[in-house]
Structure 1
Amino acid sequence: MAGVDWTRMGMGPIPATEKALKKAGLAMEEIEVIELNEAFAAQALYVIQEGGWDASKVNLNGGAVALGHPLGSSGARIVGTLINVMEQHDYHTGLATMCIGSGQGIATIIKRP
C-alpha cells in the first residue's frame, strides 16, 4: 500500500507496485499479467504509461470498464480475475493493483506453482 497527494487520486498504483516489487525482490519485467482497476479510462492509461507497464499484459479479459466496478468488492473481483487469467494462460507471476480514494493505492503480487 502506498499513497500520493490526494489531488492525484488514481495514481496510487504506481508507488504501490514499486513497493510490492521491491518487497518481493522482482522486476516489472518478471510480471506476466496485470489486473489494474480502471477507476476511469484516463486513470488506467496514465498508470500504464507513467508506470512503464507493458500494456499487452494489462486486463487481458477487460477491466472495470468491461467487467464492472463493484464498490466494496472490487479488490476481490480483481484478484479473482487475475487468478483465473493466470490459470487459463499458465502464468506464474501476476500483479493485482488498484487505486483507492484520496490518493491511496494497493498492489499484490500473486505467485502460483
Structure 2
Amino acid sequence: LLAKAGTVIGDYDLIEANEAFASQALANGAGLDWDWDRVNVNGGAIALGHPIGASGARVLTTLLYALKDRNLHSGLATLCLGGGDAVALSVSREN
C-alpha cells in the first residue's frame, strides 16, 4: 500500500492495526518502524476484541472516530488475515 500510495509510514497521523496476537503486532511495528504513540490510540484488538467477520468494520470505524476526535487528517488501517495474508487501507479526512 505504501508503495502504491507513494507514502511512508510517517505520513500517517494514526494507525489502527488489528493485532489479534501481541507478537504479530510487535513484529509488524518493528519491521515498519511504527511510532507507537500513534498506533491503536484507543486500544487495539487485544483490548477491544476482534470479532470474527467484523474486525475490518471495527478497525476502520475506530480509526475514523480517532481521527475526528483528534482533528487529524490521515490514517492507516491494517488487518492480518488467515494464511499469512493481510490488507491495509489508507484514509484521509477533509477538514
TM over 0.5: yes
d(CA) in 2 for partners of 1:25, 1:44 = 23
RMSD across aligned C-alpha pairs, in angstroms?
0.8
**Number of residue-to-residue matches in the alignment:** 94
**Where in structure 2 are the equivalents of 1:35-46 lying within 5 Å?**
35-46=16-27
Q: The residue matched to 2:79 in structure 1 has which SS?
A: strand
Take 2:9 and 2:27, find their aligned partners in 1: how far apart are those partners?
A: 17
Q: Which residue of 1 is the match for residue 9 of structure 2?
A: 28
Q: Give me the TM-score of the superposition, normalised by structure 1.
A: 0.80
Higher RCO, Cα 8 Å, sep 6+: 1
Deviation at 1:23, TM superposition (A): 1.7
Shift of 1:21: 1.7
In the alignment, does 2:80 pair up with 1:99? yes
- Quote the Cα distance in structure 1 between the aligned partners of 2:52 and 2:79: 12
* Aligned-pair identity (%): 47
Q: Counterparts of 1:29 and 1:63 in 2: how far apart (Å)?
A: 20
| CA distance, structure 2, for counterparts of residue 43 and residue 21 of structure 1 | 19
Q: Which runs of 5+ in 2 are unaligned?
A: none
Q: Is the 8 A contact 2:9 2:32 kept in 1?
A: no
SS of residue matched to 2:75: strand
Structure 1: unaligned runs, 5 residues or longer: 1-19
Question: Mapping of 1:17-96 within 5 angstroms?
Answer: 20-96=1-77
Runs ≥4 residues deviating over 2 A? none
